[in-house]
Structure 1
Amino acid sequence: MSTETVTVRPARRGRSPLLFFSILTVVLSLLVGVPWWTLLRSAAQWPAPVGVAGSVLFAVALVSFPPLMIFGHGRRVDWAARIGDTLLGVFWVLFVWSILGNVLRLALSVAGVADPARSRIVVAFTLLVSVVLLAWGYVEAMRVPRVRRVEVVLPRLGRELDGLKVALLTDTHYGPIDRERWSKGVTEVVNTLDADIVCHTGDIADGSVGQRRAQAAPLADIRARDARVYVTGNHEYMGDAQGWLDHMQELGWQSLHNRHLLVRRGADTLVVAGVDDRTAKSSGSPGHQADLAAALAGADADLPVLLLAHQPQQIGAAVAGGVDLQISGHTHGGQIWPFHYLVRVDQPAVQGLTRHGERTQMYTSRGTGFWGPPFRVFAPSEITLLTLRSA
């Protein structure tokens, strides 16, 4: 495995905020500007009242979006977060399908279709597809996830552990939309799986325990034959990570805060380890950092290891540490197509089972819930049931 040394130079004071706001301005301008031009300002020749009313609607959405997100996620004002998150999802879907609509415009031009008919066909296509996908995406986001069943062969797994069932939850993101009933539905599905181990690999909520206690409460009723285990995700470190670790202990889960436990069947043993999210150290939370060496301290190096780590990007340490299977979330499978292409720039995997090095495999879940926009488009949520097989 190759290693790369990266030198990070300290940012000059005063430049980072300016750069951030410049990038934000460009991104928002594109997200709103491309649909505005496609729907209203191309050669569709709409009546003046239609153009004015549509432009005002886009302008109001653009101007209101930043404060809604600041109040919604910065100050945890749930109604603002709900509106801002929905606007973000609408912006993204309209942006993507406006671009594809303009590809259609070129095809229509080649076919000899003239304006305003050509532009009006593009508008109809963009609006129809966007509305259908947003409606379908909302239903997909709000439903209880389907079960995704995957068999994973671990050559070092003992024969008496063959068939061990591991249920994986991740990225529940209990947040501004009250999903207590949804959470109860997830618990009911997991309990039908008769799992030996149930895992939650982080991003449990957006907000404090006090804010999201009711939504998280059904986790206490989840059943597992051997263990219910939890590790932190990056969103815990935007709030009170230690509070969630403590609360999961109160709900009867074991928090794998850079530690491990053992699952035994007869003479065979599986090490189940967990590490903090990779953002833990930079968050400034005392005593928090991803530390695989600490997590595996005292474990027999000849035993197979199942590792809980929130981000797929943590796979490098898992390979170096001889882990057999890492289970992760974080990516949401991209959540709203085609965002998964951007996720892939940052992460080594977006979803599914992948191999890394000679020994290590990784399963990346598309996530049980959703973050932000209440939509899932071509990236369905999942409750994962991993069945571990010996060679």
Structure 2
Amino acid sequence: MVAVSRSETEAGSAPEPGAQGASANPQRSLRRRLGGAVVLLVLAVLFFLPWWTLFASGVDWPFPVTLAGTLVFAAWLVVFPFLMVAGHGQRRADRAARVADSTLGVIWVLFTWSVLGGLVHLVLIGLDVGGADRARIVAVAVAVVSAGLLVWGHHEAMRVPRVRRLEVHVPRLGAGLDGTHVVVLADTHYGPIDRAGWSARVAEAVNALDADVVVHAGDIADGTPTQRREQSAPLGTIRSRLAKVYVTGNHEYFGEAQGWLDRMAELGWEPLHNTHVVVERGGDSLVLAGVDDVTAESSGLAGHRTNLAGALAGADPDQPVLLVAHQPKYVRQAAAAGIDLQVSGHTHGGQIWPFNFLVRIDQPVVHGLSRHGERTQLYTSRGAGFWGPPFRVFAPSEITLLTLRSRGGPATA
């Protein structure tokens, strides 16, 4: 062993950059391979359990039925990763994305109800009910329930969201702003399925609410402003008395976040890129602040990061603040800063049950109004659109009308 003094190290005995990069590359390659192996393993489990439930768990279908089902599931599993790469990789082929996303939704629902079907099967065995037809009864039930949920879930995903109305008591709000109507849109996710008509109907629904303030809480689209130009155009028709504000979501950072800020400004919205605006009525003021999504800094896009201090710079600390932040988990920083009300999206309410339980691991709230600390309240929207799979199961979309109250009792739904 040779001892190296600090002076020798400082003099230049540190590894050369090329050597350091060479040692890092195998590590990155190993991580990619391990990550790929985990993804393939998860996919195999997702596809295997429905196949087993429907065709191989003692159902005793005629051989041609079992063979056909097995071939379909095998082909489905092999083709799916290629469709995902083609649809969501550099090519961004919308047709491939539509097929891949729909496949993901179908297989998730089949997997979920296959798990539940397996539990029911075990109960039936314990009760000695069903006899030789037990497995076949479970398989048919899983298929029928899954098909029904997928049809209904697709309808729920593609419909104009219902309006959810909520009163929120904001103690610091001045009497002049009592009754202010804030309409919240989030997670429109314009994407591979052309929903320009849907977007126009959503804009009409928002305008019917006669809002004072309209908020878009991020995840406007999957794709670039050029790709989704027609779908986003109806946002330019939305009206408000005092302000229309927008912040980036995490999905903007998969595409062109700055481009979406520019596009929304072009459509007449105020992009809250770590900044704020002040609205006034009846001699009272409300600060509308917004921050970039928490993934902004890791995107590497210059000038993009979550900066609450910057968003509030110059604002009167005695005025109430409505903060727009895409992800609910930012409420920790909001509460520390004494924000009155944070409005978020991101969770989709889970979108396809029981994914809401997984969302809850990452976020403090899945949907609805919640309190954090002495002053701060958080409203988390289920969102207007959907990401990926065109299904919503037990997680309905929403357009939210918040009525801000300066006095009265606790917030009521």
Range of TM-score over shorter length? over 0.9
- Could you tell me how far apart the structure 1 residues matched to 2:392 and 2:94 are? 20
- 1:344 corresponds to which residue? 360
Mapped partners of 2:168, 2:121: distance in 1: 46
Question: Do 1:86 and 1:372's aligned partners in 2 also have CA atoms closer than 8 Å?
Answer: yes
Q: Which residue of 2 aligns with 1:374?
A: 390
Q: Which residue of 2 aligns with 1:42?
A: 57
Aligned residue for 1:263?
A: 279
Shift of 1:78: 0.3
2:260 alignment partner AA: W
Instruction: Tell me, in whole angstroms, the C-alpha distance in 1 between the residues paired with 2:182 and 2:167.
Output: 10
- Specify the alignment match of 1:284 in structure 2: 300
Superposition map of 1:144-155 within 5 A:
144-155=160-171
Rounded to whole Å, the distance in 1 between the matches of 2:153 and 2:212 is 32
Q: What amino acid sits opposite 2:85 in the alignment?
A: I
Aligned identity (percent) is 63
Tell me the residue number matched to 2:372.
356
Q: 1:118 to 1:45 in 2, by over 3 A?
A: same
Q: For residues 346 and 27 of structure 1, what CA distance do their matches in structure 2 show?
A: 20
Which residue of 2 is the match for residue 3 of structure 1? none
One-letter identity of the residue aligned with 2:224: S
Name the structure 2 match of 1:98: 114
Structure 1 ranges of 4+ moved more than 4 A: none
Alignment of 1:107-118 (within 5 A): 107-113=123-129, 115-118=131-134
Q: Which runs of 5+ in 2 are unaligned?
A: 1-23, 408-413
1:18 corresponds to which letter in structure 2? R
User: In terms of mean alpha carbon deviation, does 19-28 or 330-339 score higher?
Assistant: 19-28
Q: CA deviation at 1:115?
A: 4.9
**Partner residue, 2:259:** 243
**Residues 174-193 of structure 1: per-residue CA shift (max 9 Å, x gap):** 00000000000000000010
Equivalent-residue separation in structure 2 for 1:131 and 1:114 (angstroms):
23
Paired residue for 1:52?
67
Whose radius of gyration is greater, 1 or 2? 2
The answer on 1:82 being equivalent to 2:98 is yes
Shift in Å, 1:333:
0.3
TM-score by length of 1: 0.96
Given candidates 72, 87, 93, the residue that maps to 2:87 is 72
**Alpha-carbon distance between aligned partners in 1 of 2:306 and 2:71, rounded to the nearest angstrom:** 48
Contact kept in structure 2, 1:43 and 1:115, CA below 8 Å = no
Instruction: State how 1:213-228 maps to structure 2 within 5 Å.
Output: 213-228=229-244
Aligned-pair CA distance for 1:91: 0.5
Which residue, out of 129, 150, 160, partners 2:176? 160
Q: Post-superposition shift, 1:114?
A: 5.1
Question: 1:56-106, CA deviations, whole angstroms, 9 ceiling, x for partnerless residues?
Answer: 000111011101011101121000000000000001000000011111111
3-state SS of paired residue (1:228): strand
Counterpart of 2:219 in structure 1: which amino acid? D
Measured in 1, the distance between the counterparts of 2:255 and 2:326 equals 16
- How far apart, in 2, do the equivalents of 1:83 and 1:113 lie? 39
Give the Cα–Cα distance (whole angstroms) in 2 for the partners of residues 114 and 379 of structure 1: 33
Q: Give the SS at the match of 1:210.
A: coil
Deviates more, 1:171-180 or 1:11-20: 11-20
Deviations 1:233-265 (A, max 9, x none): 000000100001001000000000000000111
Structure-2 residue corresponding to 1:132: 148
CA shift for structure 1 position 14: 2.6
Aligned with 2:217 (options 193, 201, 206): 201
Question: How many Å separate the matches in 2 of 1:234 and 1:110?
Answer: 47
Matched to 2:68, the amino acid is A
Q: Distance in 2 between matches of 1:54 and 1:115?
A: 24
Contact kept, 8 Å, 1:45 with 1:116, in 2: the verdict is no
1:316 aligns with 2:332: yes
Q: Deviations over 1:36-67 (max 9, x none)?
A: 11111111111111111000000111011101
1:59 aligned counterpart, secondary structure? helix
SS at 2:226 equivalent: helix
* Residue 26 (1) aligns with residue 26 (2): no
Which residue identity does 1:48 align to in structure 2? F
The amino acid that maps onto 2:71 is: V
Q: Which residue type is aligned with residue 343 of structure 2?
A: I
